[in-house]
Amino acid sequence: MKVNKVDHICIAVKNIDEARKIWEPVLGKSGPDDEYIDEPEKIKVARYWVGEVGFELMESTTPDGDVARFIEKKGEGVMLISFNVDNTRESMDELKQKDYPFIGGARPFRDCEFAFVHPKKMNNVMLELIDDKAKMLKNY
């Protein structure tokens, strides 16, 4: 499997508006480069471009969402690291042959797909594979 780059890093937060007040001065930003709500994943996201890497603050939109459960177990902090790959499904197939377990299958997002390698295999780090090829505006 070829990793093209670190795609993004996600920070789980209880309150995205409060977290923005903490992070934006450090990032030198007056607002996110991309904001969205992902209903299927139950998250509200504020994404900032730091060079070629996305830096995301994620708040759960429901008490039973993955971000809410992460915060309940581990507190706020780094939740996942995402690697950009050419093809998520092919990368999954290759890693499955090497005994890497996945949480569910490939999931759609905008014009791409992503999947999660189970953190128990990755030194307790949630690893996401994503084949996003969008040329998004980067204000850095």
Counted domains in the chain:
1
pTM flag (> 0.85): yes
Q: What is the CATH number of the domain that holds 105?
A: 3.10.180.10
Model pLDDT for residues 60-113, shown as the tens digit of each residue? 999 999 999 999 999 999 999 999 999 999 999 999 999 999 999 999 888 899
Residue 136 falls within a domain, yes or no?
no
Look at residue 140 and give its three-state secondary structure: coil
Interval 114-136: pLDDT, tens = 999 999 999 999 999 999 887 54
Distance CA 89, CA 97 (A): 12
CA 61/CA 101 separation, integer angstroms: 27
pLDDT > 70 in the chain, percent: 96
In the numeric block, the tokens 């759960």 are attached to 60
Token duo for residue 13: 């937060």
Report how many helices (DSSP H) and strands (DSSP E) the chain contains, helices first: 3, 8
Instruction: For residue 137, tell me if it sits in a domain.
Output: no
pLDDT of residue 133: 80
| In 28-78, alpha helices (H) | 66-74
DSSP string, 82-130: EEEES-HHHHHHHHHTTT--EEEEEEEETTEEEEEE-TTTTTT-EEEEE
Question: Residue 29 domain-assigned?
Answer: yes
Decide: residue 107, CB within 10 A, 0-12 exposed, 13-18 middle, 19+ buried.
Answer: middle
Domain holding 104, by residue range, is: 3-130
Q: For the chain, give the longest Cα–Cα distance.
A: 45
pLDDT of residue 135: 56
pLDDT tens figures, 5-33: 999 999 999 999 999 999 999 999 999 99
Residues belonging to the chain? 140
Amino acid at 106: A
Answer yes or no: is 135 within a domain: no
Whether 41 is covered by a domain: the verdict is: yes
With respect to residue 64, please indicate whether it lies within any of the assigned structural domains.
yes
Flag whether 138 is in a domain.
Answer: no
What pLDDT score was predicted for residue 62?
97
